[in-house]
Structure 1
C-alpha cells in the first residue's frame, strides 16, 4: 500500500498529522515570517521529513489556505452561537471585553497579519483570503439582518453593508493597533469599543 493510500485509509491519523504540520508552520511563520520560514524548517518543527509534509500540503501557499479555512470555521462557530442567543446584538456588546482582549493578544493577531501581508503581494493567497472573507462576511450579514429585524431596525442593503464592513474593520484593526502601540490602555479602549458597538448595532 502506498503512502497516499495509507493516509487516506486512516483519516483520523491523517488529520492529526495535518494539524501537527499546521501547528509547526504557525510557530515558524510567527518567528521567521512567511518567506523566512522554509519547508525544511517547518518539517523540523513538526518532527517529520519534508517529504512527509508534502503528503499533506504541496506548498506553503496550501498551508496558508488551510489557516484561512480554519478561521472561516471559527467565524462560522461564532455566528451559530450568536444566532442561538436571545438577543445577538446585545450578546456582541456584552462580549466586548473578552473579544477585544483576545484580538490584542499576539497569539491572535500575529498569524492573520502575516497572511494579510502575503495576500497583498501573492495573487493566489489574495484569492483565498477574499473568498474566505466573502463567506464570513455573508454569515455576519445574515446574522445581523435577522437580529436587527427583531429590534425593528433598518435592514436595507445600504444599512447592512456599511454596518458589516465597519464591525469587521474595528476588530481587524485591533491587531495593527497593538503592533503600533503595544502599551495602549486596554480598559479605556474596551470602554469606547463597547460604546461604539452599541451605537452601531442598535441604530
Structure 2
C-alpha cells in the first residue's frame, strides 16, 4: 500500500524493497539488464512479480533505485571523510574502501551493466549523469579541502577529481578483464597515486 505523503515507508516495506534491489543487482550482474526477466527477479527475490510491481513500475525504475543506492553509499563514504580530523590522511588510510568495492566481481559487473545500459538508454544515461554530478561535486570539495590543508593552490581540483575517479572506476573494468589482479599489490600504488595527485 502506498505511503501517505511525508510518511516514511515502514521498516517492513524498506526491507522488502531492499530485498528486490539485492535480487536485481545479482540478476543484472549475472544476466544483464535485458537478460534478467521480471520472472527471474521474482524467483531470486522470493516474491511474486505482482509484489515487485507494487514497489517498482518496471525494470528501469529498479535500475534508477540501484543508481540511487550506489550514490547514497558514495555519499556515506564522503560523510565519513568530512568528519575526519585530517581528510587527506583519512582518504589515504581508507583506500581499501574503494579498492574492495571496485574489485568485487559482482559489483564490477553491475556497474559496467548500468553504464552499458546508460550508453543505449537516454533515460538511464540522465540518471547516471545526475548521480555522477552529485558525487563528483561532493568529492571535489573534499579534495579541495585536503589539497588546501596540504598547501596546494586548488587550481586543478576538478581535474584531480576526474583522474582519481577514473583511477578507481577503472578498477571495475580491470576486475572483469583480469580477475586475478593482485589487490594487495595495488593498495600501496593507489596510496602513492593519491599522495601525488592530492
TM-score by length of 1: 0.89
Partner of 1:43: 42
Task: Figure out how many residues of one structure are paired with residues of the other and give that number.
Answer: 196
Q: What is the 5 A alignment of 1:160-199?
A: 160-199=157-196
Q: Secondary structure at the match of 1:36?
A: coil
Shift of residue 98 of structure 1?
Answer: 4.8
Gaps of 5+ in 2: none
Q: CA deviation at 1:9?
A: 9.1
Match of 1:118 in 2: 117
**2:139–2:161 CA contact under 8 A, matched in 1:** yes
**How much does 1:12 deviate?**
2.3
What does residue 106 of structure 1 align with? 105
The C-alpha deviation readout for 1:75-112, integer Å capped at 9, x for no partner, is 11111111111211122112224532332121331211
Summarize the Cα distance change of 1:120–1:88 in structure 2 as closer, same or farther, 3 Å threshold. same
Pairwise CA RMSD: 1.9
Aligned-residue offset at 1:5: 6.4
Q: 1:5 to 1:79 in 2, by over 3 A?
A: closer
Please, which of 188, 197, 200 is the counterpart of residue 197 of structure 2?
Answer: 200
Superposition deviation, residue 40 in structure 1: 1.3
Q: Distance in 1 between matches of 2:122 and 2:76?
A: 28
After superposing the two structures, state which structure 1 stretch, 77-86 or 44-53, moved more: 44-53
Q: Once the two structures are superposed, what CA deviation does each residue of 1:40-99 show, in whole Å capped at 9, x if it has no partner?
A: 111122222212211110011110110110111111111111111121112211222453
Residue 146 of structure 1 corresponds to: 145
TM-score, length basis structure 2: 0.91
Cα offset, 1:190, TM superposition: 2.2
Q: Distance in 2 between matches of 1:42 and 1:98?
A: 29
Q: Structure 1: state its 5+ residue gaps.
A: none
Q: 1:22 to 1:180 in 2, by over 3 A?
A: same
How much does 1:152 deviate? 2.2
Partner of 1:155: 154
Q: Take 2:132 and 2:3, find their aligned partners in 1: how far apart are those partners?
A: 34
Deviation at 1:145? 1.6
Q: In 1, distance between residues paired with 2:8 and 2:135?
A: 32
Secondary structure at the aligned position of 2:145 is classed as helix
